[in-house]
Amino acid sequence: MRLLRVAAGAGIAAFGLVVLWAIGLAPVPEGVTRRLAAFEAVFPGRWTGAEVERIACPPLSGLRLYVVCTDGCDGIWKVIGVRGFRTLALVNLNRMPPEPTEEVRRRFNREIAKEALRLDPGGAVDMIGCYLELAGLHPELVLTDAALAAVETARTGPRPEEAMRSLADGLDEPDALSRLTVTETPQGFESTFLYWDTASVGRPVLQMDYRLGRNGVLLGVRVREWSPTDGTVSGSTPGRPPT
């Protein structure tokens, strides 16, 4: 009888913990949310073989973001959100044709708005880093003025491909987001910076303009190819605001 009481007590405690996880009053273990993300991305396929990587996004407390891939991301390649036990496919990066950008942005912004964030400038920088990773970009390829000069030197020097590969490897620093600065606006925050698109033909440098609401939602993004006649804008917000 005593054994039954102990077993019943353990069962009640376990059930109570699951309830707390489900309503968000206790954090769900990371291993559980990784499995949920894999199942959401791959079902009805065999989800146990999927690669799951968490996207670091410090401002988010209730929403966890994961990239889930199969076959080296040549098969399934999705961004999955997990809140408690609830899963949501946010982006299918291998869908052909791709989903409209505005549709993806609305879906993601709905989930961000549920976090009820009140960002300061540091939090806004972290959110921009999160958005870069969601787009499959790499914060370490954000360029300072000195790095931009090094890119141009490598591009025009002898053996440019080798020089640019070596330079890209050297930009991989853990504090890469410190290269960004933001400007506060009545709506939230703006940031303009240069990004080295090493994944595209010609390895162009892009100028990126991000606008965020104070609650972290993405209000707008503008991306265009940078040329030396534009001047350097790394980490600043000169000129007119992005549209």
* HEC-encoded secondary structure of 140-154: HHEECHHHHHHHHHH
* Residue 91, strand partner residues: 79
176 exposed, middle or buried (CB, 10 Å; 0-12, 13-18, 19+)?
A: middle
Residue 2, pLDDT score: 53
Phi, psi for 170 (deg, rounded to 5): -75, -10
Residue 47, pLDDT score: 78
Q: Give me 167's structure tokens.
A: 């330079």
Residue 231, pLDDT score: 58
Q: Could you tell me where the beta strands, DSSP code E, fall in the chain?
A: 51-55, 64-69, 77-83, 86-92, 142-143, 183-184, 188-196, 205-213, 218-225
3-state secondary structure of 206: strand
Residue 101, pLDDT score: 84
Q: Does residue 72 or residue 21 have the better pLDDT?
A: 72
Q: Give me 208's structure tokens.
A: 């990126």
Q: Does residue 22 or residue 73 have the better pLDDT?
A: 73
pLDDT tens for each residue of 3-34: 444 444 444 433 343 444 444 556 789 999 99
Banded pLDDT at 73 (limits 50, 70, 90): confident
DSSP assignments along 21-71, one per residue: HHHTSSPPPHHHHHHHHHHHHHTTS-GGG-EEEEEP-TT-SS-EEEEEESG
* Total residue length of the chain: 243
pLDDT tens for each residue of 154-180: 888 788 888 888 888 888 777 788 889
* Residue 189, strand partner residues: 184, 212
pTM (predicted TM-score): 0.79
Mean pLDDT of the chain: 83
Report the distance separating Cα 206 and Cα 196, nearest Å.
Answer: 6
pLDDT tens for each residue of 80-123: 999 999 999 998 988 889 888 888 889 999 999 999 999 999 99
For residues 181-199, average pLDDT: 94
Residue 229, pLDDT score: 67
For residues 120-138, average pLDDT: 92
Report the distance separating Cα 166 and Cα 194, nearest Å.
Answer: 19
Least Cα distance to 81 among 118, 114, 121, 126 occurs for 114
Residue 176, pLDDT score: 84
3-state secondary structure of 120: coil
Residue 183, pLDDT score: 96
